[in-house]
C-alpha cells in the first residue's frame, strides 16, 4: 500500500478538459438502452416530469436525451466553470444545475425519482478519499422512497485501472490515465458486482446487474452497471 500524499486537483483537471471541449458528446449507448430498451431483466418505468439527477454530468451529454424523454432534469458538477457551461448550453434548465460532489450533493432530501451516476460515483474527494459510505448516504438522501438508482462503475479490469496502485482495501490511485485527466485520482474500486451490492444494500433493494465488456480498439471498456430501488 502507498501513502495518500498526492496533490491531485479534480476541479482543475476536469474544468480544463471541459473548457477545451466545444461540442457536447453523444449520450452513452448504455444510458440510451437503459431508458429506451426492453430486456428480460429490465423494463425501466418512469413517468413524464419525474425528477432525475445527473450526478457528475460532465459535458452534459445525457441532459438533452433525458429531457426529451419528458423527465425534469437536474444536475451537479464539481466546479463553477463546468456548471456555468451547462447553464449556457441548456438555458431552459439553468436553475436546475448546482455545484456538488458525490459526498455532498447540493439538493434537498427525498427530492429525486431517479439518480443517474454514469461514471462518476466512484471518484473520491481528495479531502476524504476513503469514505465511499458517504457517497452511498448522499445518493440515498436525495432520492425519494422507491426512487431509482442507476450507476456505471468500472471493473477492476477496465483500462482506467491499468497501472493503478492499491492505496487501501477497495481504493486505487490512478496512474498513466490514457486520457490524462485522472492521474492521482483515488477511486473506489470494487472486486465484483456483489461487493457493489454490499455497499448499497443497507439503503437499496431490488438490485439488477448488467455489464459492459468490450475491447474498443485497444481500450478495455469493462463496466459494472447497477440499477436499484431506494428502500
Ligand atoms: C468520466 S466523467 C463522466 C461524465 C458524465 N457522467 C458522462 O457520462 O459523460 C466523470 C465526471 O465525474 C466528475 N467528478 C469528479 N469527481 C467527482 C466527485 N467527487 N463527485 C461527483 N462527480 C465527480 C467529473 O467532473 C467528471 O465530469
Q: Is the pLDDT of residue 185 over 90?
A: yes
* Mean pLDDT value across residues 13-18: 94
**How far is ligand 1, taken at its centre, from the CA of residue 87, in Å?**
17
The secondary structure element, H or E, covering residue 209 is: strand 204-216
Mutate which of 73, 101, 102, 120 for ligand 1? The one with the most ligand atoms within 8 Å of its CB, which is: 120
Q: What percent of the chain has pLDDT over 70?
A: 97
Report pLDDT for 5. 59
Mutate which of 21, 58, 138 for ligand 1? The one with the most ligand atoms within 8 Å of its CB, which is: 58
pLDDT digits (tens, 9 = 90+) for 25-62: 999 999 999 999 999 999 899 999 999 999 999 999 99
Report pLDDT for 21. 86
Pocket-forming residues, ligand 1, beta carbon under 6 Å: 10, 14, 28, 56-58, 61, 77-78, 101-102, 118-120, 123, 125
Report pLDDT for 7. 82
Computed over every residue of the chain, the mean pLDDT equals: 96
Could you tell me whether strands 219-230 and 143-154 are parallel, antiparallel, or unpaired per DSSP bridges? antiparallel
Q: Is the pLDDT of residue 4 over 80?
A: no
User: pTM surpassing 0.85?
Assistant: yes
pLDDT digits (tens, 9 = 90+) for 91-150: 999 999 999 999 999 999 999 999 999 999 999 999 999 999 999 999 999 999 999 999
pLDDT digits (tens, 9 = 90+) for 95-109: 999 999 999 999 999
Beta bridge partners of 104: 101
Mutate which of 23, 52, 56 for ligand 1? The one with the most ligand atoms within 8 Å of its CB, which is: 56
Q: Show the domains of the chain with their CATH numbers.
A: 10-155+191-230 (3.40.50.150)
Rounded Cα–Cα distance for residues 207 and 41 (Å): 10
pLDDT digits (tens, 9 = 90+) for 137-184: 999 999 999 999 999 999 999 999 999 999 999 999 999 999 999 999
Sign of the dihedral through C-alpha 20, 24, 225, 158: negative
8 A C-beta contact, residue 207 and residue 228: yes
**How far is ligand 1, taken at its centre, from the CA of residue 57, in Å?**
6
Amino acid at each position: 500500500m502507498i501513502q495518500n500524499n498526492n496533490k491531485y486537483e479534480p476541479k482543475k483537471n476536469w474544468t480544463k478538459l471541459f473548457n477545451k471541449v466545444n461540442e457536447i458528446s453523444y449520450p452513452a449507448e448504455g444510458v440510451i438502452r437503459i431508458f429506451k430498451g426492453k430486456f428480460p431483466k429490465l423494463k425501466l418505468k418512469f413517468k413524464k416530469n419525474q425528477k432525475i439527477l445527473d450526478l457528475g454530468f460532465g459535458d452534459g451529454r445525457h441532459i438533452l436525451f433525458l429531457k426529451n424523454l419528458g423527465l425534469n432534469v437536474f444536475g451537479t458538477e464539481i466546479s463553477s466553470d463546468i456548471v456555468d457551461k451547462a447553464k449556457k448550453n441548456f438555458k431552459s434548465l439553468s436553475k436546475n444545475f448546482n455545484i456538488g460532489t458525490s459526498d455532498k450533493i447540493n439538493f434537498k432530501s427525498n427530492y429525486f425519482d431517479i439518480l443517474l451516476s454514469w461514471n462518476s460515483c466512484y471518484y473520491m474527494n481528495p479531502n476524504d478519499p476513503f469514505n465511499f459510505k458517504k457517497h452511498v448516504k448522499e445518493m440515498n438522501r436525495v432520492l425519494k422512497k422507491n426512487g431509482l438508482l442507476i450507476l456505471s462503475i468500472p471493473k477492476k479490469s477496465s483500462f482506467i485501472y491499468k497501472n493503478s496502485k492499491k492505496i487501501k482495501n477497495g481504493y486505487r490511485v490512478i496512474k498513466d490515465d490514457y486520457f490524462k485527466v485522472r492521474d492521482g485520482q483515488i477511486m473506489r474500486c470494487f472486486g465484483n458486482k456483489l461487493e457493489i451490492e454490499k455497499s448499497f444494500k443497507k439503503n437499496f433493494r431490488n438490485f439488477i446487474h448488467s455489464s459492459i465488456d468490450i475491447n474498443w480498439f485497444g481500450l478495455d471498456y469493462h463496466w459494472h452497471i447497477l440499477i436499484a430501488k431506494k428502500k
